[in-house]
Structures are given as C-alpha cells and as structure tokens.
Amino acid sequence: MKRFHIIIFLALLITYSKTQAQKTAFTLPEVNKVLKDIHIYINVELDDSTKSKIGFNTISYFNPLINYIDYNIIGRGDAATIHDDELRDFILKNAHAGITMKSISNLLVEEFVKEMNLPNSSDEKEDLFHVGGFFTTEFEHHQEDDGMWSDMLEVNNLKLFFASHINSKGNSNHVSVFAEYNPIPEEVIHQILQVPVQKGSYNDTLRELPIMVTYADNVPFERLFVNIKNVGGTKLGLTVGQFRLPFGIWNDYSSHRNFNSTKTNMLVNGYALRKIEVGAKLDYQINNNWKAEAAIVYGRQGRTAPIFRGDMDMNKDLVTHITYNNNRFTAGASAYLGRFSINYNNSVGIDLSYRFNKLLVSGEVVYQENKNVAEIYPILAQNGINMLSSTSAYAQFDYEISNKFHLFGLYDTWTMMQDGKIINHTTYRAFHGLKYILNPKVRWTIVEYGHMFFYGFNKGANHYSTQLEVNF
C-alpha cells in the first residue's frame, strides 16, 4: 500500500497545466477555479458601459450554480463536467443583450444542466493538475449527555485535494487520479453511540464498536483513487482505490453535513453507510437520464476515519446504486449486500433530490438489517438475540433567499429494533440555520440551531453553533 501511495503522488507531480475547453471537477475548489477563469474572460470581453448597465462586478453571480453543483453533483460523490466555452458564450450572449447579471445568475443553473449531456469533443483539453483544500472551524454552545452546557471553539475539518488528469484528449479512456489528504478528519457528532438490549433475564448495553487502528495501519487519505472515464468508448467508468461508498446521497445541507442517523449510525451493522471504502467501482451512463453504479468493496467497519490499510476479514461486499435524472429531480435506489448475500449485513434505500426554482430538497429512506449478530456482537447471539435492524429517514432543504443568504434545515428520524422489537423510542431531530456566502470560496453559517428528541438515550437536547467554511 505504501508503494501505491508513492505511485499516486508521482503521477500527480509529473503533470502540468494546459488550456482547456471543458473541465472535470471532483471538488468545489476545482469548480471555483473553472468559474473564476470564466469570470476573468468575461471581464476582459465586456466594455465598461456594458458592465455598468448589467451590474457586472463581483463573481457572486456564480453562487447559485456553485450551490447546485455542491449539493447535486459533488455531494453525490460524482465529478462535475463543466463545458466552460458554452457557459462563457451563454453569459456573453445575454450580457450583450442587456440582461442583468442578477437575471443571468438565475439562468445559469438551467444552462449548466442542459450542457451536462453535451458530448465531449475529441480535441478538448483539460487542466492537468489542481491542488486545493477545504477548511472549517466552528464555535458551538452544546448540551452534553448529562444535560450540562459547554462552549467549544474548534477546527472541524481540514482536507487537501490533489487532482491530476493523466490524459486530457479524446472521447475515451480519460484517466484521472484523485487524492484527498485528511490531516484533520471530520467530526461526527450528535450520534447515539449505545442502546440498551434485553432478552429474558439478560440485560446489557450495545455500544458502537471501537475502531482500533495503529499509526502503521492507518491510511492518512480519505479518498485516493484512479478513475477511467468512457473505457474503450463504452460509456463505462472504472474507479479503483479508496472512494466514497456509492449508497444514496453523500452530503447534507447542514453545516455539519454528517450527523443524520440514516447514514452515520453504526450500531446495527458495525459500520456507517456514509463511509470510505477500498475496492473497485463501475459506473455506466445508460442514457441521458439513467446511470448505474456497482462496487465491490472490503466491507470495513467505521465511517470516514480512521481508515484501515488492508482487508480485515478477506470477504467482500457488493454495493449498487441506480439513479434517474430528468434535470428537475434525481431519484435513486441503493442496495448493500454483505458478502454478496441477503443473509448477512444488508441495507436498501431510496433517495430523492428535487430542485424548484431557488429551493433544493433532498432525502433518503433506508432499512438496515444484521442477520449475522454472532460475528459482530457475539455476546448478544450467546444470549438469544439473533437480528438487529433499523428504519430511518431524513429530509433536508436549502433555500436561496438571495445570492448571499441561504436558509437550510434537516429533519431526521431513526428507529432501531432487536428481533423486530423497537428499542426505547423512535428518535427525531431538527436542525435549522442561516448561511451567508461571502464569496464563492467562503461560506459563513451565521447561526445553526438543533434540537434532538432522543428520549431514552440521554444524548443532550440542544445545539447552537456558528461556523466558517473555506474552499481554497
């Protein structure tokens, strides 16, 4: 694995930059760079009188488009293909027609969606190397498990991105390498880490399994993979390495982006569905609307960090996801089969994202089932507990009040069962907040308030925070 890391970095370092007509972006920093280049070109092409007439000044007119790409493409674990020539021409055409930048801003998402299905030109070139990152810091006023309040100022996350396009020309066999170094892993909070279990005279507490990883076994990267697009002109994509599990939607609209129990609770199967995996993934663009993904993965315990270097049990899991996108909404269905069997650790889910003017809404419904309690929690099986399961769902929204201000919210429900019987109560939570976009690279969550209805689990009830996110 050490040699693999070295090879990845050598591939990144030997590449260089070229001009382009389309770009593939794995992260928001890459998206921001593409749009900044478009903005500079527009600024040179327009005369001062036209700029004054249409209100052309800052790059903030790209904010709605960045928000859309974040939540609907990057946030789903996909790469964004930006046809910058078309976007540039679209902006210039409307600017010369006297359309204001505010109106152009509102039209950019629709234009981008239409351009998503444009064919790649054989002579198009790609930006061959990009370095970027993501940093977030937060001050929170949080109620602890015992009911006491605490104040914390902390760095929540730091990621460094390295993206390299090995070859940038041609319709097929486009090879990319992506590395996401993670010196400060994301903080996963507001989780129920233990539940009471009871069978006859047996009473115990089921706790989240600890992830014991030594320094030598730990992989300091969150994502590290090679991707080949349109293999042999077949529309088939291949990703090999360490990547996001292709189950449902990856990110959340809350500033934390990671706390809904549907995707991050580990009690049923010993792992979260929002996790990083090692394996191989195939994706196939069936047509302009349908896309299918299938991955064979290690099946590791955990979430996004810490990450094991190797396969712990030498068994493999199968994950599938199919999506339908009609440019207004995206609907998907996912399945997770532990060891390729319906009699082991299984999960099924459906997901939906919908865009209505300035409102983005999305959510998932998931059922998880552990029929192999004896291997993961042997003490439970020894006392007659044969199956653990959960049903859960969340809905979230982001509403654009203006180019600068956004309202967001998340609602979550989770029910865990032991041999079909509900443990304690169904849990609920509701989070809301107001976000201010200083510029395309800096977002400030002015205030976020969350309330957890975790009756019987004693995990604190209230949370207030303010947070700063920087893409660089």
**Regarding predicted confidence, which is higher, 385 or 172?**
385
Q: H/E element holding 391? A: strand 388-400
433: left (phi over 0), alpha (psi -120 to 50) or beta: beta
Distance, in Å, from the CA atom of 304 to the CA atom of 264, rounded to the nearest integer, reads 10
CATH of domain 129-471: 2.40.160.10
Q: Is 214's pLDDT higher than 60?
A: no
Give which of 218, 263, 269 is closest to 245, Cα–Cα: 263
pLDDT at res. 20: 43
User: Given a cut of 60, is residue 12 above it in pLDDT?
Assistant: no
Domain residue spans in the chain?
A: 2-115, 129-471
Q: How many CB atoms lie within 10 A of CB 117?
A: 13
State residue 170's pLDDT score.
Answer: 60
Give the 3-state secondary structure percentages of the chain, helix then strand then coil, rounded to 5: 20, 45, 35
**How many C-beta neighbours within 10 Å does residue 312 have?**
12
pLDDT bracket for residue 14 (50, 70, 90): very low
State the pLDDT confidence band at 370, using cuts at 50, 70 and 90: very high
Q: What is the pLDDT of residues 401-418, one digit of tens each?
A: 988 899 999 999 999 999
Alpha-carbon distance of 244 to 272, in angstroms, equals 12
In the beta sheet, which residues pair with residue 161?
132, 180
Residues 219-272 have pLDDT tens digits of 788 889 999 988 988 889 999 999 999 999 887 676 667 778 899 899 999 889
Please write down the long-range contacts of 423-430, taking CB distance under 8 Å and 24 or more positions apart. Answer: 423/195, 423/196, 423/197, 424/195, 424/196, 424/455, 424/456, 424/457, 425/455, 425/456, 427/192, 427/261, 427/452, 427/453, 427/454, 427/455, 427/457, 428/452, 428/453, 429/190, 429/260, 429/453, 429/454
41-50, 62-71, 444-453: least confident range: 62-71
Mean pLDDT of 194-220: 80
Average pLDDT estimate for 303-311: 71
**Torsion-angle region of residue 204: left (phi > 0), alpha (psi -120 to 50) or beta?**
beta
Sorting pLDDT into bands at 50, 70 and 90, what band is 115? confident
Over range 11-29, report the average pLDDT.
58
- What's residue 320's pLDDT? 97
Residue pair 9/2 in contact (Cβ under 8 Å)? The answer is no
* Residue 165 to residue 162: CA distance in whole angstroms: 10
Q: How many C-beta neighbours within 10 Å does residue 104 have?
A: 22
One-letter amino acid at 104 equals: I
pLDDT at 120 (0 to 100): 53
Asked if residues 28 and 471 have their Cβ atoms less than 8 Å apart, the reply is yes
Bridge partners (DSSP) listed for residue 160 = 133, 181
